[in-house]
Amino acid sequence: MMIQLGIICGGKSTEHEISLLSAINIIKASDQTKYNIILIGISKDGIWQLYDPKTAFINAEDPKKIHLNNPIDRIVVVPDNPKGYLIKLSNPKEKLVLDCIFPILHGPYGEDGSVQGLLKCANIPFVGAGVLGSAVGMDKDVMKRLLRDAKIPIAPFICISKKDQTKLHFSDVIKTLNTPLFIKPANTGSSIGISKVINESEFNRAMEEAFQFDTKILIEQGIQGREIECAVLGNETPKASVAGEVCPKDSFYSYQAKYLDDDGAKLIIPVELTTKELETVQATALKTYQTLCCEGLARVDMFLTPDGQAWVNEINTLPGFTKISMYPKLWECSGISQVELIDELINLAINRNTLCANIQTSI
């Protein structure tokens, strides 16, 4: 019997297009004899619609121009017991019962716990971290405070809200943090709104830009080290992949370099590390994953300094799944194909849902 697999893509975030590219790759890599794909696209204004996976994407090879084609119908998620379902607005009596959903949404309104909470309330198994892990993984301020309490190395940082923007000046910041500084919105991903800062004029411009994307921003001290990434997979007993290195062409790994510029960065998979360095990277990735209450999958990004210490930059609880993305490539290099990886992620989601269903929630 085929598994009814829902894939949710698109969304309201600035990473809408990358989500579409991730969805295409997951559809292509899924075992078509095992899964019946139900494709759910969320428009940039938040409308949930049903699409035919074969005709859903226009300009599918261009990350700048890709967009969703004409939908089949608008849909609604209906909570039910023991399992929720979808309905089409044109035919509310027809139920679309899904065995699992893969919400390959990047950034706010998808990776931050919003969709995870909806699916949990609807009793539909879903791939990836739950509400808590997703929320703390997205909020860089909360994430870094939890990591700091767990004695995991992070860059010194200051967090400031929009209402206090005029109270903080460059001269105040450099009394606490050394340059270069990185200024970033607290709740975005893929380097959206991030700037590298050396002087006061750059500082002021960077603050304005970051506040366009969030009401809370981080000012971090730059760490001089190699940019290392490690993938994690699992629920209660997660495992870490081999490590990869990002060598950006410019001063840091920007959104442009990640997705729009073919020569924006060189990815080395696996990266050559000493046995001790690899053990440090993998141990740091696993401790970060568990400290932040993650499940299913995540990619941990860190800086490896010359003294062999791994400083965590951030975690991505729904990392890119495009054909060039680090997460699936790291697992391929670790001996797990994309087909096997998708199978494992779906099994983890269904097993977690079964476990949670057996927990008594009322007297």
- From the list 23, 28, 26, 22, the residue with the least C-alpha distance to 40 is 23
pTM (predicted TM-score): 0.93
- From the list 259, 330, 328, the residue with the least C-alpha distance to 30 is 328
Q: For every one of its 363 residues, what pLDDT tens digit does the chain have, with 9 covering 90 and above?
A: 899 999 999 999 989 999 999 999 999 999 999 999 999 999 999 999 999 999 999 999 898 899 999 999 999 999 998 889 999 999 999 999 999 999 999 988 999 999 999 999 999 999 999 999 999 999 999 999 999 999 999 999 999 999 998 889 999 999 999 999 999 999 987 678 999 999 999 999 999 999 999 999 999 999 999 999 999 999 999 999 999 999 987 665 555 555 555 566 789 999 999 999 999 999 999 999 999 999 999 999 999 999 999 999 999 999 999 988 999 999 999 999 999 999 999 999 999 999 887 775 654
Domain spanning 157-221: which superfamily? ATP-grasp fold, A domain (3.30.1490.20)
| pLDDT for 82 | 86
Provide the token pair at 212: 């366009």
| pLDDT for 324 | 87
| pLDDT for 344 | 98
| pLDDT for 265 | 78
Determine which helix (DSSP H) or strand (DSSP E) holds 192, and give its type and residue range: none
Which CATH code of 3.10.580.10, 3.40.190.170, 3.30.2270.10, 3.30.470.20 fits the domain covering 224-357?
3.30.470.20
Question: CA 24 to CA 20: how far, in whole Å?
Answer: 6
Which CATH code of 3.30.420.40, 3.30.360.10, 3.30.470.20, 3.40.50.20 fits the domain covering 3-126?
3.40.50.20
| pLDDT for 360 | 59
Locate the domains of the chain by residue range: 3-126, 157-221, 224-357
Model confidence pLDDT, tens digit, residues 123-141? 999 999 999 999 999 999 9
Question: CA 140 to CA 270: how far, in whole Å?
Answer: 27
Per DSSP, the three-state class of 232 is strand
Per DSSP, the three-state class of 326 is helix
| pLDDT for 38 | 97
b/e per residue 256-282 (b: at least 16 CB within 10 A): ebbbeeeebbebebebebeeebbebbb
- From the list 119, 103, 133, 132, the residue with the least C-alpha distance to 353 is 119
